């Protein structure tokens, strides 16, 4: 996720599809889809970034 945040800070648009709410909490915009229909389109003003410990664990999993 750190790499995606860095790319976003450089001005790049990132589109990430996930079923993980913890990952979605890190996005500035979340579009929730069910059965091919948009159920919710919201902007996240309180972005929750992973702590450095969480990032290390995530990188170790790769």
* Domain spans of the chain, in order of start: 2-61
* Total residues belonging to the chain: 62
- Do residues 21 and 27 touch, judged by C-beta distance below 8 A? no
Where is pLDDT greater, at 56 or 31?
31
For the segment 36-62, the average pLDDT, to the nearest whole number, is: 69
pLDDT, average across residues 44-48: 75
Reported confidence tier of residue 53, pLDDT bands at 50, 70, 90: very low
pLDDT of residue 62: 53
CA dihedral 57→28→45→23, nearest 10 degrees, is -30
**With the C-alpha atoms ordered 56, 58, 61, 62, is the resulting torsion angle positive or negative?**
negative
pLDDT of residue 59: 53
Between CA 2 and CA 8 the distance in angstroms is 10
pTM for the whole thing? Answer: 0.63
């Amino acid at each position: 996720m750190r790499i995606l945040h860095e790319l976003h800070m450089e001005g790049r648009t990132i589109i990430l599809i996930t079923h993980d709410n913890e990952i979605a909490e890190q996005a500035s915009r979340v579009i929730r889809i069910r059965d091919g229909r948009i159920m919710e389109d919201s902007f996240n003003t309180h972005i929750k970034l992973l702590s450095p410990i969480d990032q290390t664990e995530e990188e170790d999993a790769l």
